[in-house]
Structure 1
């Protein structure tokens, strides 16, 4: 058996080669992420695989799992260490090779296996690694499963069992692409820029999009694990601005940006203007509600208030439930409520039957955008965007805050604004209309201007989002209000981006 993992092992030592290094903070709310070699070593990954296999047996599901990895330089070795642990735990492993997260989720259905483990740090910077896991397709682990996995791994409770097995699946990429392209070709002639940030999506998305009949201009689709131009994150303005420049250069109808593991999609319209993913969600909800009257949607608390106030959605009988941010949370909530789609501001979209299988897939989202344009042959992407009621919104902004401090800071911010709300105090000369504390705090003023503060679920930082249907001035005033409160906490550091 492996020694019990520790969190205090220095690299380049005897212990580092013999004892699993696993930092506790790597177990997040709904997946796991560490700085490789600093917070977890290969023996630690092996211990994680042993713990995951033990949990699979504990959950009483068939001990069979699909495992894939992204294109980071170290992901293959991490996947092999994870597989070693799973085999030791008596789990049959289907190794699907290089994959996107949605390809791994797809493989659960294609191979008829209940469990999945995808080695990826998604859009996190190089140096990070992680695993997205599930044992009940199409759902992935939530806090309960992640807490139990943490107990098993850190407590050395992983158990060796007989019955493990290994099979390499060499055609999952082809099977996924065939599934995505089994659809009628577009009748509308569309020119599309596809940006992949040199991440794993470059091996999948251009081929799928070409099969629609659209003209595809690839942007940074060559695989390069150094991410030489920008981090593949469709929420980062650097990636969106590169996409904007390409859209304008090629006079494209739309630009689509995919993150490192392909489960998110960002959009730039034909004028080169980025459309934040929650606004794209409203546009898609309008289109889909035409096809599915009285449709139900789920959105995260970072998302625009238009899902509730948009007159078109109201006329079509659409209803929306706001829920916790996080792909596992929105996926589960959408599944539980039977929603047609779940939308996250980060660009995770969860299309349920008859559009998708319930998991987040940037490719399905991209195809939905193209289908929306197909159904509006006389309208451009900018036209559809401009049809929405005007609001001024921010990108997702993330000030640094250590993992062991961020939840405490958020608790203090929640208490601060809740007290103001209860006391009937004003902000920006307005009363606070309501507060939502299901995930951090989202406070809304009388004119609909709102701000959100929550802890990031997958990195050491907070999340700040603001929006105003009244004016850009009120948007900025709300950000300054929240930023002023956060600046009183010395644990809060620099932002990754600001207004």
Structure 2
């Protein structure tokens, strides 16, 4: 019998090499993330594979799965430990090798396989590992599946029927890229900076963008799992500023930045300004709603209020559905509502047919942006941005908060704002007019300025975002007001970045 995983073992000991270690907090709301070596070991990963195979059986899903791994020094070994556990649970494994996450999602369709398990820590810093999983394409696991997987793994309640098998899908990357590029080239001449932060997307993104007919200016596309310049995260200003500098240096029409596992895309316009992903989503919604009248778009609660207030979207009959942050939540909501697309401020975009298959793919997002420019040949990316009503918004800001307490802290923060609203109080000098509590709390004041606090789903952090349609000063006043409430909780630490 396979032993029960332990929450902690000491490295370089007999126990560490002979027993599974799995820290419970690694099972997140919709995927799994651990610090490799400190919170999970290889036998723990093997236990995860056994648990996932067992869960597929419980769900009545055929025990067959696509797997791949991102470009980190330890990801291949983690994947093979996962594969050994899956096979012990009777799973037929299709290994697509080194891959971006959406390549694994594509594999579910191309190989006609029901399940997926992609080994990636996404944009997390080196030292992290994780797995993104699903068993009902194009959807990925949510809280129910993740909770049950956690129970199975930590309780070692495995159904080890054996009989699993393994096949390596040679040449699958070429198949994925061909699927993206088997289409007419764009008519417009575009110079595009393609930045990958030395992450996995560097092996694929420049080739795909070039195949569309664009002139590509590569930036940090050489794969290097030490991430020597910056973490490949298009929400981080360090990456965005590097892209800005290259756009201005080369006179490019646009800069596109891909995250570590290639399922997100950040944007810099031709003047060097970073356009936060929710604003790009509004631009895409304007473009697509001309083609699909009365369209529904799902957006996460971190996103700009323009989806509901923009006059062009209103004139096109757009319905904006604000929903929980998280790629699994938005993906499911897009699928449930049959929405044209879903947009997250983090840069996860989900396009239904004819643009995409419902899952998040940074290259599909990049192609949609390039097609938008191609359909507007007399307008630059800056022109399209400047046509939006002016708002002042923050990047995503993340103060440290331990995984064990972050949800309790958010619960206290929500209660504090609910009490403040009930008493007729104000935030940043303006009365509270609305609280949206579908995911943390979004505090809306009388002048339309708003702030959001929620728990990060994949790191020991909180998430804070603020926006004002009035002025930059109001943006800072809202942030100061929200932060003051956070500071009532001693568990909340320093921010990774602030305004």
TM-score (structure 1 length as normaliser): 0.99
User: Matches of residues 134-173 of structure 1 in structure 2 within 5 Å?
Assistant: 134-173=134-173
Conservation of the 8 A alpha-carbon contact between 1:117 and 1:132: yes
Residue 79 (structure 2) aligns with = 79
Residue 396 (structure 1) aligns with = 396
Deviation at residue 196 of structure 1 after TM alignment? 0.2
Residue 13 (structure 1) aligns with = 13
Aligned residues: CA RMSD: 0.6
Residue 376 (structure 1) aligns with = 376
Residue 273 (structure 2) aligns with = 273
Residue 44 (structure 1) aligns with = 44
Residue 465 (structure 1) aligns with = 465
Residue 252 (structure 1) aligns with = 252
Conservation of the 8 A alpha-carbon contact between 1:301 and 1:325: yes
Conservation of the 8 A alpha-carbon contact between 1:2 and 1:19: no
Residue 66 (structure 1) aligns with = 66
Look up the SS of the partner of 2:133 in the other structure: strand
Deviation at residue 162 of structure 1 after TM alignment? 2.8
**CA deviation map 1:57-103 (0-9, x unaligned):** 11001110000000000000000000000000000000110011100
Deviation at residue 158 of structure 1 after TM alignment? 1.4
Look up the SS of the partner of 2:217 in the other structure: strand
Residue 350 (structure 1) aligns with = 350
Residue 233 (structure 1) aligns with = 233
Look up the SS of the partner of 1:403 in the other structure: coil
Deviation at residue 421 of structure 1 after TM alignment? 1.2
Conservation of the 8 A alpha-carbon contact between 1:400 and 1:494: yes
Q: Are 1:97 and 2:105 an aligned pair?
A: no
Deviation at residue 457 of structure 1 after TM alignment? 0.2
Deviation at residue 426 of structure 1 after TM alignment? 2.3
Deviation at residue 424 of structure 1 after TM alignment? 1.9
Deviation at residue 427 of structure 1 after TM alignment? 2.5
User: Quick one: distance in 2 between partners of 1:353 and 1:178?
Assistant: 18
User: Matches of residues 147-226 of structure 1 in structure 2 within 5 Å?
Assistant: 147-226=147-226
Look up the SS of the partner of 1:404 in the other structure: coil
Residue 492 (structure 1) aligns with = 492
User: Quick one: distance in 2 between partners of 1:46 and 1:221?
Assistant: 32
Conservation of the 8 A alpha-carbon contact between 2:428 and 2:480: no
User: Quick one: distance in 1 between partners of 2:427 and 2:33?
Assistant: 37
Give unmatched runs, 5+ long, in structure 1.
none
User: Quick one: distance in 2 between partners of 1:167 and 1:260?
Assistant: 26
User: Quick one: distance in 1 between partners of 2:312 and 2:373?
Assistant: 17
Look up the SS of the partner of 2:404 in the other structure: helix
Give unmatched runs, 5+ long, in structure 2.
none
Between 1:420-429 and 1:393-402, the stretch displaced more is: 420-429
Residue 480 (structure 1) aligns with = 480
User: Quick one: distance in 2 between partners of 1:242 and 1:424?
Assistant: 45
Counting matched residue pairs gives 499
Deviation at residue 429 of structure 1 after TM alignment? 3.2
User: Quick one: distance in 2 between partners of 1:260 and 1:230?
Assistant: 11
